[in-house]
Structure 1
Amino acid sequence: MAAGYTGGLELTWTNKDKALLSTGDGRYDYTFVDRADYRVSEVRLLHEVERVEAQPREGRPDGLPEPTTENLLISGDAMHALDILNKVPEYAERYLGKVKLVYIDPPFNTGQAFANYDDNIEHSVWLTMLRDRLRQIKPLLSDDGSVWVHLDDAEVHRCRSVLDEELGAENFLAEVVWQKATSPRNDTTGFSVSHDSLLVYRKTNRWVPNRLKRLATSNTSRYRSRDGDPVPWRDGDATAGKAATNHPMVYGIQHPVTGGLMYPTPGRCWGKAQSWFLEQMNEYAKYELRDIGDEARRAIICGTTPERVKPGVPAIMLAQPLEDAARAARARHEAGNWPELVFLDLDKERIQRKKHLADEGRVPETLWFASDVGGSLRGKNQVRDLFPDLHAFATPKPEELLQRVIHIGSNPGDIVLDCYGGSGTTAAVAHKMGRRWVTVELLSATIATYTKPRLARVVRGEEPGGVTTSTERVADADLPADMTPDEAQEFNRLLNKVVKGVDLDREAIKALRDATKTRNQTTAIWHGGGGFSHYEIGPSMFESVGDIVVLAEWATQGDLAQAMCAQLGVRYRPDGIFAGRRGRVRYVILDGLVGHGTVEAILDQLPEKEIVEVWATQIDLDAEETLRKSRKGSRLTKIPEAVLDTYRRRAANTSPFNRRTQEPEAATHDRH
């Protein structure tokens, strides 16, 4: 059981104690290995392939997002890419604890990616892959960040358990249902699947979603200004929540005209502090707090008995004669621009709260229709329009779907991460929306064919589809009061049906059409700009010769020093004989034998009060003893044995069932 994770359910599966390794670069083919295996423990290097940038443009329209430039397209396994972002200092300082949104669309199960495994192992492969990636993703997330996992119904129930275990059940936010198909597949023998799921988790309770633009129908039909308030509003409930047995927010409010007492409906309580209600009621007449001994009435609302209800909760009562209060209340009502607490009819004992149109927009909901965010067909068509001569990409998501995810979970300038990049939809939309992004794709053919060309077009402003433009229905006439352009369009559609079978006056019909005329208005939200760097994950610094692990042929001299700095979590900054430093520790990486002469040369260059770690492919044990005695705390260790031993020690100290933070760790080394 994980530390700090007591009392929760835990999903187990075959080989859960193992790590998952891609057995061949550039394909979904996995095997289970020990967690100490260098192939999963090693921190690889990134090698830049190309920098893609747009030519500077003048006259950028106001209101469009500022193009971002610090973006990464990474070719290779997500396992290595996430390790690099976590542990290599020059990347960790940019991404560790700073990623606002992670969207992952991992390979779905049931034969789509893991067709060569039997059912039991197939699920184990998928779950281990997900678990390992979540453990690497979590430390990258900012405290107000979120993870969105997109999947079909094959693994959603098991995935939820893994997410609970790794991110905390208390951090579950929602299961969003996305309508990916709008018509059934009649060749299906069982049910035709119309949806995918997006499981949404936060890192901490600091996460706050961005709200969506209100629906056009909400803007006018539900919101009005019946009292002259400059901001349209609708009437809302003045009560909230659930009334506990001793709830202090259950009390009476005396009506200013009838004198009757108003209470929350049974099981509920007033929605704001009593001081706020008192202030609001004083807008209508003079009020005060007074204990009226109404425990029996309040007990009914709280669902308990009078002796158990909270005693001494005062009511909000009139502090002037009822006749004077009624006169003041009617005068205030006639004056207009009412307080936040309103009486729609002063003769009825019912109060409500104003809900203004400016109330932060529409809260995100969990049911997303294809008509709003597109379906699978739209996603395929968008990629097909970009690459008409290529075979259709298998499972592209519509840009509108990612636009909603990115809008809810991030702001311009924030970092968006997708470690299963596919055709590049997440990165493309993030770029158009002014976010910084990192996307990783395992298959080099996919990057060469789809991902990189698509992102290059986005940067150059040559990708006109998807969310590059925004289309909305606008009025082309003075519409009747309270009618939206969408409603006018629907009215015309129905009118055309009606007039086909009815003999109506043509002039009247024309007048109706002219009075409700609308048109589509398209606005560009992206014109190109910014840039990204394409990197490839480098090869392993090790190779196996039978049962022996040795250094790869390329890992020599400066390349070896850079690779070793990655393992040590030290920034590679050559300075004479030193490869890097952290605090008062200097690091020397040597491809060759270190004897007494080399140790003396190192000590001559080592500043006072500093220590040194020397890593070498060959060492003289007497020289090691000399170094330790000459500068206490210094050490001399052998490559690759000491590195491999560090991997084993880390694996032994970390239970595979524990949740891990994966913070960058300084290596500690035994004597060899």
Structure 2
Amino acid sequence: MPTLEWIGKSKVINHHQDVPFRVLERKYSFDENGQHDEDNGSENMIIRGDNLEALKALLPRYEGRVKCIYIDPPYNTGNEGWVYNDNVNDPKIKKWLGEVVGKEGEDLTRHDKWLCMMYPRLKLLQKLLADDGAIFISIDDAEFFNLRSICNEVFGEQNFIATVIWRKNYAPKSTAKHFSEDHDYILVFGKNADMWTPHKMPRTEKQNKAYKNPDNDPRGLWRPNNLAARNYYSKGTYSITCPSGRVINGPPSGSYWRVSEEKFHELDKDGRIWWGKDGNNVPAPKIFLTEVSDGIVPQTLWSYEEVGHTQDAKKEIKSIFSGEMPFDTPKPYHLIERILQIASDSNSIILDSFAGSGTTAHAVLNMNKADGGHRKFILVEMMDYADSITAERVKRVIRGYGEGKNAVEGTGGSFSFYDLGEPLLVGDCLNEAVAPEKIREYIWFMETKQPYAPPSGGNPYYLGKHNSTGYYFYYEPQRVTVLDYAFLSTIMEKADGTVIYADRCSISEDKLAKMGVTFKKIPRDISRL
């Protein structure tokens, strides 16, 4: 498979492995009753901070669990005037490039910078995606080719699913220099395309109008299908005699009848062939409305009539923010709802790591209200407006917005707002500024891939049991801990095997093996998780 090369690639291709794990610090939670600071947070999350570090922080709990990812990264058009700077010259990105790519970064074009920014983020998104999940990425012509190329590398060319074309404008732009650009792309990849199955779209009234019943068939409405097809079929070249006596010597040149002669006569006998009112037409098999599936296969051309356009999105956000326009490039929430209809279930986790104005959360909350689902959203926004715009929009959607005839009822729901906290490790040492409970949670997630529920009572270093193995984190910030016989004597929890984290061990590996105990050294074996 051809691969794309750019300045700085060698520095970022494995950079996701070097990104430090940071803990997530919950700042507040919000629901229909307003903002509060109780200990129990919501499963919906909005995270403020660098999305590369936030994605790494999400791995312990969410690796392989996210059903649907939607991202709307910078299009890299060179437009400097947007709230979300769109040519990746934002100071945070420039600082990151200087640290990671080094002096080589001084010669980067804006395309090199964009690729350096996107590649490690896509690597982490791929890890978070479930085996039967899919990622949808909005983009335009400026970086479409580059995005497709690096997605082929990260997700595998065999996992490419489709390129959706969204017609985003309802009128041509008279100021366009050459062409009015009326569409964006949405690139779709699966974690494993063979395991991903899109949901079918509901049938529309317009689609059902094609079904009629001119012969009063008791089976109801139907539409004619073409008997001929271009796919080769060895039994599809026979002649047909119409009820009128007309003889059709065979299918049109270059095509074949879809069914064998024997099958054709079976269908005709069952009244499933339409010959026309005079019995002289080329026969057409009937497709009955009652026998078609409940929906239709998603198509790759999405019109603004179906999923909204950019002006819809701007009107919506102005309505939410009482006439203000705090974000210049929102997506219409109907567009995200279409993606969720196709790619999520009622209990799915949905991730958006370029959250912008929070459209993805808006779409999730709308769908949950409409069908009683329990979809969970995780939003990440690195810009300063993560709280004042992203989270604020979600608050207003939950509680309702607008006045009088323009009032929109709240969706209900909740979310917790997080900041990126301290790194778990500082150099080769555990960061003493991180609460031990956060480290315990991290170790448990990485060992078991399960949510951490602190056990009550008993050994204070006991993390819990998973798959018949007991886990212990023997750690004290102010002293060195030693796995010795004295510590083993404190273990009362029964398990087939035992894993113990400690600073040191005074028992030989042979003796540990006989007792079914595995020693893991702090912090060495934590950094390797």
SS in 2 for 1:626: coil
- Match 1:431 to one of 355, 365, 368: 365
- Structure 1 Cα separation of the partners of residues 364 and 297 of structure 2: 21
- Structure 1 Cα separation of the partners of residues 15 and 129 of structure 2: 27
- Match 1:455 to one of 394, 410, 418: 394
Cα distance change, pair 144–551 in 1 and its aligned pair in 2 (3 A): closer
Q: Which residue of 2 aligns with 1:286?
A: none
Q: Which residue of 1 aligns with 2:509?
A: 628
Report the residue type matching 1:49 in the other structure. Answer: K
Matched, 1:613 2:471: no
CA contact (8 A) 1:560 1:589 kept: no
The normalised TM-score by structure 2 is 0.78
Tell me how far 1:86 sits from its aligned partner: 3.6
CA contact (8 A) 2:272 2:285 kept: yes
CA contact (8 A) 1:606 1:612 kept: no
Tell me how far 1:17 sits from its aligned partner: 3.5
Matched, 1:403 2:337: yes
Tell me how far 1:416 sits from its aligned partner: 2.6
Matched, 1:236 2:236: no
- Structure 1 Cα separation of the partners of residues 238 and 279 of structure 2: 21
- Structure 1 Cα separation of the partners of residues 70 and 261 of structure 2: 43
- Structure 2 Cα separation of the partners of residues 557 and 84 of structure 1: 16
CA contact (8 A) 2:364 2:377 kept: no
- Structure 2 Cα separation of the partners of residues 275 and 375 of structure 1: 51
Cα distance change, pair 585–15 in 1 and its aligned pair in 2 (3 A): farther
- Structure 2 Cα separation of the partners of residues 414 and 565 of structure 1: 23
SS in 1 for 2:398: helix
Tell me how far 1:455 sits from its aligned partner: 1.5
The normalised TM-score by structure 1 is 0.62
Tell me how far 1:368 sits from its aligned partner: 2.8
Q: Which residue of 2 aligns with 1:181?
A: 169
Cα distance change, pair 605–241 in 1 and its aligned pair in 2 (3 A): farther
Q: Which residue of 1 aligns with 2:254?
A: 267
- Structure 2 Cα separation of the partners of residues 143 and 563 of structure 1: 22
- Structure 1 Cα separation of the partners of residues 338 and 16 of structure 2: 38
Matched, 1:340 2:269: no
- Structure 1 Cα separation of the partners of residues 143 and 336 of structure 2: 21
- Structure 2 Cα separation of the partners of residues 173 and 46 of structure 1: 33
CA contact (8 A) 1:239 1:269 kept: yes
Q: Which residue of 1 aligns with 2:424?
A: 541
Tell me how far 1:422 sits from its aligned partner: 1.1
Tell me how far 1:423 sits from its aligned partner: 0.8
Report the residue type matching 2:474 in the other structure. Answer: I
SS in 1 for 2:120: helix
Deviations 1:329-378 (CA, angstroms, capped at 9, x unpaired): xxxxxxxxxx3322114542511122344534554333333344322222
After superposition, residues 184-263 of structure 1 pair within 5 angstroms as: 184-202=172-190, 203-214=192-203, 216-220=205-209, 222-229=210-217, 231-243=220-232, 247-258=234-245, 260-261=247-248, 263=250
Matched, 1:77 2:50: yes
SS in 2 for 1:258: coil
Tell me how far 1:580 sits from its aligned partner: 2.0
Report the residue type matching 1:533 in the other structure. Answer: S
CA contact (8 A) 2:459 2:491 kept: no
Q: Which residue of 2 aligns with 1:472?
A: none
Tell me how far 1:433 sits from its aligned partner: 1.0
Q: Which residue of 2 aligns with 1:355?
A: 287
Matched, 1:134 2:108: no
- Structure 2 Cα separation of the partners of residues 415 and 106 of structure 1: 20
Matched, 1:552 2:525: no
- Match 1:369 to one of 299, 303, 317: 303
Q: Which residue of 1 aligns with 2:73?
A: 106
Cα distance change, pair 415–274 in 1 and its aligned pair in 2 (3 A): farther
Report the residue type matching 2:254 in the other structure. Answer: G
- Structure 1 Cα separation of the partners of residues 184 and 119 of structure 2: 20
After superposition, residues 268-667 of structure 1 pair within 5 angstroms as: 268-272=255-259, 276-283=263-270, 339-348=271-280, 350-357=282-289, 359=292, 360-388=294-322, 390-434=324-368, 436-443=375-382, 445-462=384-401, 528-543=411-426, 549-555=428-434, 557-565=436-444, 568=447, 571=452, 573=454, 576-581=459-464, 582=466, 583-591=468-476, 592-594=478-480, 599-606=484-491, 610-616=497-503, 619=504, 624-626=505-507, 628-632=509-513, 634=517, 638-644=521-527, 646=528, 667=529
Cα distance change, pair 441–529 in 1 and its aligned pair in 2 (3 A): same
Q: Which has the higher mean CA deviation after the structures are superposed, 230-239 or 249-258?
A: 249-258
Tell me how far 1:211 sits from its aligned partner: 4.1
Cα distance change, pair 173–225 in 1 and its aligned pair in 2 (3 A): same
Cα distance change, pair 578–407 in 1 and its aligned pair in 2 (3 A): same
Cα distance change, pair 169–54 in 1 and its aligned pair in 2 (3 A): same
SS in 2 for 1:164: helix
Matched, 1:156 2:144: yes
CA contact (8 A) 1:564 1:589 kept: no
| Identity rate, percent | 28
Structure number with larger C-alpha Rg: 1
Cα distance change, pair 121–274 in 1 and its aligned pair in 2 (3 A): farther
- Structure 2 Cα separation of the partners of residues 259 and 391 of structure 1: 68
Gap runs ≥5 in structure 1 = 1-7, 21-32, 56-68, 284-338, 470-523, 647-666, 668-672
Tell me how far 1:572 sits from its aligned partner: 6.5
CA contact (8 A) 1:462 1:528 kept: no
Matched residue count? 479
- Structure 2 Cα separation of the partners of residues 54 and 159 of structure 1: 39
CA contact (8 A) 2:320 2:396 kept: no
SS in 2 for 1:228: coil
Q: Which residue of 1 aligns with 2:81?
A: none
Tell me how far 1:593 sits from its aligned partner: 4.2
- Structure 1 Cα separation of the partners of residues 127 and 245 of structure 2: 60
Tell me how far 1:155 sits from its aligned partner: 0.7
- Structure 2 Cα separation of the partners of residues 167 and 643 of structure 1: 27
CA contact (8 A) 2:314 2:325 kept: no
Cα distance change, pair 354–129 in 1 and its aligned pair in 2 (3 A): farther
